[in-house]
Chain A
Amino acid sequence: MLTYKNKRLTMGTRNTLVGLSFILPSFIGLLVFVLIPVLFSFILAFMDWDGFNEMTFVGSSNFLDIFGDRAFKSALIKTFAFTIVTTLLTTFAALGLAVLLNKKLRFKNFFRSAIFFPYFSSMASIAVVWKLLFMKDIGPINQFLGMLGVANPPGWLASTDWALPAVMIVYIWKYMGYYMIVYLAALQDIPIELYEAASIDGADGFQYFWRVMVPMLMPATFFVVLMLTIESFKSFDLVFAMTEGGPGTATTLLSNFIYNKAFISFDYGVTSAASFVLFAIIAVITLFQLHIEKKMSN
């Protein structure tokens, strides 16, 4: 153990050693199981390797392969569509729910918990439940649509057009409660004086919402949109558990493409190259959004 009694060490060295001793257990783990794999992945992106035979250096050819690959382009487009739709709808849903639940209501906690709960339910369980709910001919959702008089309800997971929207619905259902809590926390921070001042000025509910709440919630909205963009861009397990990317490639997102390259084609170089493309896109989006946020708050 390092103590202050060790007189031979200078104060600065001692502080460094003590500080590092706290961080060391965590850092060794992070280094071995995250940082080194990330570095290894970067090297692999320029290699040809199947995980067993000799590695060969191939330069940028993995990246050229990807950009010439129609499956990759299709996955990229679907990932963008998925991200844009789920981010927008989840943000609106979360904001709406938070505004409703910020009022003085009975059973407020019950409503809150109920809407928050799907976030904690396991993907493996809820994916199979929704899969059954979405079944084409006998599923409860289409039964219900039939009752409402919809003559040709969509085929959902069996249809190449409707599979992705079905997955989006489940995504929004699962995550809106989480971001609702973020908004609720932010709503707590709006000073009551603003509310009173708006009242005195004769503002109605809508005016209060647009003129006071929305601007005051801007930082929270930036956070929510940023998190949702990142999370939906790399989302994977929901699609995997519900459709495994199908039918055909209708729901094959970038992450599913990467998974298939790794564990089905054993093309480790292309896997790493594609994963860095994913990372680069996320990084660019993040920096762009942070830039806008900075600009707007000035």
Chain B
Amino acid sequence: MIEKKNPASTVITYILLAALTVVTLLPLVWMVSASLKPDIDVFSVPIQWVPKNPMWSNYTTIWSKIPFALFTWNSMKLSVLITLIQVTVSSFAAYGFTKCNFKGRDILFFAYIATIAIPWQVYMLPQYTELRIMNLGDSHTGYILIQSFLAFGVYLMRQFYQNIPNELMEAARIDGLNEYGIYFKIVLPLSKPVIATLSIYWFVRIWNDFMGPMIYFDSESNKTIPLGIRMFIGQYSTEYGLLMASSVVSLIPVIIVFLAFQRFFVQGIATSGMKN
């Protein structure tokens, strides 16, 4: 037999994995630990993994020192709204691309795929200029518009819809349902898993987005958490404890989403990557 029978190799596997896991998680553990220290203890030698007098006040100070509550609200609002639009629009389009037959469909879809391959750097600046011309520069509306219509969502949904048997549509058509009826009554209820996958992806993506808000938002009232975190890095001094505390807070929604829906992420990677 190839494996299993060899206890030494099993032990080595465990040791390797344990070591790799520790290395992977240590930066995050260090972050939590530093978030509970006064600045002066953050780099104490040797490293104090469990702070002697945990400074919980770091977690209250971040809300008063900068408008962190507003940033959290902005992040939440943008992530939820953009995800809603992206999922709705993508699922609708994916149905058109898979289940409706018409001339030019595949050429149109090719245009979609092509935009996925174009790096964002190519259209970053024109997008920025366009929003300014439309009077949507430095606004949440502008940011929502540029993040809600990306082709990846359509691509992912289409991969899933292709696996829904066409006989199901045919049967429904014979029963007198029109395409909209089929979409709402048959396809939509079936697509819960892929909707979950795309929603989670997009939520995390927008929640974590750092470059977009950095380029588009100038006024403080528009800013999101990733920009807020960086406000603790000063020109001359950095408030380490607050910086780490705000970073930990920013990770909490992602951890919750991750633990609750991990299987959808895994499914999404398998769907988007390997089946073409």
> How would residues 241 to 276 of chain B score, 1 for a CB under 8 Å from any chain A CB and 0 otherwise?
001100110110011001100100110011001100
A100 interface hit (Cβ, 8 Å): yes
Taking Cβ atoms with an 8 Å cutoff, the residues of B that contact A are 1-4, 6, 9-10, 13-14, 16-17, 20-21, 24-25, 27-28, 30-31, 34, 42-43, 45-47, 89-90, 92-93, 95-97, 100-105, 108, 111-112, 115, 117-130, 145-146, 148-151, 154, 178-180, 183, 204, 207-208, 210-211, 215, 225-227, 229-230, 233, 240, 243-244, 247-248, 250-251, 254-255, 258-259, 262, 265-266, 269-270, 273-274
Nearest CB to that of A119 among chain B residues? B265
CB-based contact B121/A22 at 8 Å: no
Q: Which of A38, A100, A103, A105 lies in contact with B115, CB distance below 8 A?
A: A38
A-B contact count (CB 8 A): 276
Q: Please, could you name 25 A-B residue pairs with CB atoms under 8 Å apart, sorted by A?
A: A22-B100, A28-B149, A33-B145, A33-B146, A40-B123, A41-B126, A111-B20, A113-B258, A120-B208, A121-B28, A122-B208, A125-B247, A177-B24, A181-B265, A181-B269, A182-B269, A185-B270, A236-B121, A237-B210, A255-B119, A258-B121, A263-B215, A272-B126, A275-B119, A282-B117
In the assembled complex, the CB of B178 is this many whole angstroms from the nearest CB of chain A, namely: 5
A84 within 8 A of B: no
Q: Which of A59-67, A137-145, A149-157 contacts B (4 or more CB under 8 A)?
A: A137-145
Bound-state CA distance A278–B230 (Å) is 29
Provide the residues of chain B in CB contact with A204, threshold 8 Å.
2
A297 to chain B, nearest CB (A): 14
Quick one: which of A120, A132, A205, A271 has the most chain B CB within 10 A? A120
Contact A124–B226 (Cβ < 8 Å):
yes
Is there contact, CB below 8 Å, between A123 and B208?
A: yes
Pairwise interchain contact A129-B115, C-beta atoms closer than 8 A? no
With A12-B103, A117-B258: A126-B27 Cβ-Cβ less than 8 Å: yes
With contacts A19-B96, A129-B28 known, is A37 near B123, CB below 8 A?
Answer: yes
Contact check, A26 vs B93: say whether CB atoms are below 8 A apart: yes
Size category of the A interface is 35 or more
Partner pick for A103 among B13, B178, B183, CB 8 A cutoff: B13
Nearest CB to that of A184 among chain B residues? B266
Q: How far is the CB of A232 from chain B (nearest CB, A)?
A: 12
Q: CA of A22 to CA of B178 in the docked complex: distance in angstroms? A: 13
Contact B126–A26 (Cβ < 8 Å): no
Question: What are the 7 A-B residue pairs with the smallest beta carbon separation, nearest first?
Answer: A29-B149, A22-B96, A19-B100, A124-B226, A26-B93, A125-B247, A37-B126
On whether the beta carbons of A195 and B273 are closer than 8 Å, the reply is no
Does A18 reach chain B (CB closer than 8 Å)?
yes
List the A residue with the shortest CB-CB distance to B230.
A124
List of B residues within 8 angstroms of A82 by Cβ: none
